[in-house]
């Protein structure tokens, strides 16, 4: 092999490995950080709508719980439960997109959150203030757990130093 073709071969090989590295790096990023941001506009819009409704619902629970308005609590909690994005009228493609772009643990967290809303409604039906507060706490805890894991682009104060090093 001539000196020149050897050099060409070596540079071709290094370019190839470099691009593999870049692809792998990108792929990893897409999986761990970009899930929600990679969603299509429609789906992201739906998620955003669900979140705004959630915030409204959860905020209205505070005075309802304080006053022991069991029936109102039950109604609000049932509304929150029904806002489950995975249960909305998604097209087949959208449902598939959600499941391919979002990690399984996101779907599980969302599911657990909505299940707790159902439990809250049930506790209110039984006029059990202590249990109502317990599920209210669990629901609030779910906001911060999910946001600190999947929505640091929206809520940067949950970013830890490690993540900050990697972004930009
Ligand atoms: C299973 C995960 C998950 C749970 C649980 C969750 N969120 Fe979110 N939330 C997200 C993600 C992801 C975003 C960012 C969406 C985006 O960037 O498009 C978000 C965004 C938001 C936003 C900003 C919406 C906007 O577009 O302006 C609000 C407000 C919000 N969440 C409130 C809440 C509240 C309140 C709770 C709890 C009662 C909650 N969320 C529970 C995942 C979650």
- Same domain for 102 and 51: yes
CA distance 144 to 43: 21
Domain of residue 46, CATH code: 1.20.120.10
- Same domain for 68 and 15: no
Q: Domain tally for the chain?
A: 2
- Same domain for 86 and 55: yes
Confirm or reject: Cβ of 77 under 6 Å from ligand 1: no
- Tell me what pLDDT residue 158 has: 94
Å from CA of 54 to ligand 1 middle: 8
- Tell me what pLDDT residue 107 has: 86
- Could you tell me the pTM of the whole model? 0.79
What digits encode the pLDDT tens for the residues 25-76? 444 444 444 788 899 998 898 889 889 889 999 999 999 999 999 999 999 9
- Give CA separation, 163 vs 27, 31, 52, 96, 160, in Å: 16, 14, 26, 28, 6
What digits encode the pLDDT tens for the residues 106-149? 989 988 999 999 999 999 999 999 999 999 999 999 999 999 99
Residue 22: which domain range? 1-32
Confirm or reject: Cβ of 31 under 6 Å from ligand 1: no
- Same domain for 106 and 161: yes
Å from CA of 144 to ligand 1 middle: 9
Confirm or reject: Cβ of 135 under 6 Å from ligand 1: no
Using the predicted structure, report yes or no on whether residue 164 has a pLDDT greater than 90: no
Residue 138 CB-density burial (10 A; 0-12 exposed, 13-18 middle, 19+ buried): middle
């Amino acid at each position: 092999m001539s000196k020149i073709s050897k050099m060409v071969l070596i540079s071709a090989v290094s370019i190839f490995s470099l691009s593999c590295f870049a692809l792998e790096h990108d792929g990893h990023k897409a999986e761990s950080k970009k899930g929600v941001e990679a969603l299509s506009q429609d789906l992201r819009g739906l998620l955003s709508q669900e979140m705004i409704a959630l915030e409204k619902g959860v905020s209205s629970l505070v005075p309802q719980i304080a006053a022991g308005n069991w029936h109102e609590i039950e109604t609000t909690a049932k509304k929150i439960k029904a806002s489950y994005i995975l249960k909305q009228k998604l097209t087949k493609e959208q449902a598939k997109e959600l499941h391919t772009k979002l990690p399984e643990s996101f779907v599980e967290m969302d599911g657990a959150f909505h299940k707790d809303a159902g439990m809250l409604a049930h506790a209110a039906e039984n006029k059990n203030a202590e249990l109502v507060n317990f599920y209210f706490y669990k629901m609030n805890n779910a906001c911060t757990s999910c946001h600190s894991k999947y929505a640091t682009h929206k809520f940067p104060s949950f970013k830890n130093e490690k993540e900050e090093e990697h972004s930009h």
